[in-house]
Structure 1
Amino acid sequence: MTPIDVNQLVFRSMTLDDVPTIVAIELESFATPWTEEAFVNELTNNHFARYMVMDLDGRIIGYAGMWTIMDEAHVTNVAVREPYRGQGLGERLMVELQRTAVMFGSRRMTLEVRVSNSIAQRLYKKLGFEPSGIRPGYYSDNMEDALIMWAELPVSAEVEQLYDDK
């Protein structure tokens, strides 16, 4: 596949019309994917929820979500369509999610990641996340533990400068 021109990517808020595509990406990406109902509920009933899509030429190729509560953001989902993986797009998506979290007043961000997922852990560490604990048996498909990671986010005046090179 031809490398993606990151200047062609568009990041926007997820809409209800996006949900079927998001569910398809979930099925490609996770052993225990979220359902259509879960995403509809997040978009319509959860006032803490912030979801975005990554669009390339009118096609959604990735998405990410978080809950912003007080000054903390909790990452709920991050996924890139299978054919587009390995090109740094997950990093672009996470950087955009961090920018958005700062815009909503977040100072810290947290997430859980499978202890066996070293690729994701490397990405998160690159973006300033540090391990802070374990959630035993967190993943229901195989009772795998989750590594809890936290990152301090820059204050809004520092955001563009910090992320411009990413």
Structure 2
Amino acid sequence: MDNRFKIRKMQREDIDEVYEIELLSFSTPWSKESLYYELEQNLFAKYLVVECEEKVIAYCGLWVIMDDAQITNIAVHPDFRGMKIGEGLLTFSLQLSKEMGAKRLSLEVRVSNHIAQSLYTKLGFEAGGIRKRYYTDNQEDALVMWVNLG
């Protein structure tokens, strides 16, 4: 990720742009209300955005509960995919989780999403199991992936 891109904490004003990315990225997107709740009321949640020329182009949601962290969602605007933005944001999220005391981090990914799985594997994640019929839109299984941060 080059220096045109800046990672920072998500703010309330970012939610419209984050929601747009959510709609463009997922068949069952989170609602704006869910994003507001996560940002303002969930004490375990940390949300980050990537900004380019004052526009939000990617985001990542993270829960850190004691020594466990979980990526809740991560997405890059389609116009900016393939530029290593997701990799930079995920690497930053791994470091933040570690700094917050997490010993391991997990996420779920569609079994058909080989591009994302490849990125996760590159960053040290390993397959840990399957959640059957996890995705409500088509009943697709989720692959659970873990990485140790210690």
* Fold shared per TM-score above 0.5: yes
Larger radius of gyration: 1
- The CA deviation at 1:6 is 1.0
2:62 aligns with one of 55, 63, 66: 66
> SS at 2:133's partner residue?
strand
Q: How many residues align?
A: 150
Among 130, 140, 147, the alignment partner of 1:134 is 130
- One-letter code of the match for 2:132? P
Structure 2 residues without counterparts, runs of 5 or longer = none
Higher helix fraction: Structure 1 or Structure 2? 1
Aligned residue in 1 for 2:47: 51
Instruction: Tell whether 2:135 aligns with 1:104.
Output: no
Matched, 1:76 2:50: no
Which blocks of at least 5 consecutive residues in structure 1 are unaligned?
155-166
CA distance in 2: counterparts of 1:153 and 1:130, whole angstroms: 12
Stretches (4+) displaced over 2 A = none
Question: What is residue 39 of structure 1 aligned with on the other side?
Answer: 35
Cα deviation, residue 8, structure 1: 2.2
Structure 1 residue 13 and structure 2 residue 9: aligned?
Answer: yes
Could you say which structure has the greater relative contact order, defined with CA pairs below 8 angstroms and 6 or more residues apart? 2
Query: What is the aligned-residue RMSD (CA, Å)?
Result: 0.9
| Counterpart amino acid of residue 19 in structure 2 | V
TM (norm. structure 1) is 0.88
Q: Deviations over 1:1-30 (max 9, x none)?
A: xxxx61222111111111111000000000
Read off the aligned partner of 1:42 and give its amino acid letter.
E
Distance 1:52 1:99 in 2: 13
Deviation per CA, 1:38-57: give whole Å up to 9, x if none. Answer: 00000111100000000112
Secondary structure of the structure 2 residue equivalent to 1:46: coil
Q: Partner residue of 1:157?
A: none
Q: 2:140 aligned to 144, 148, 152, which one?
A: 144
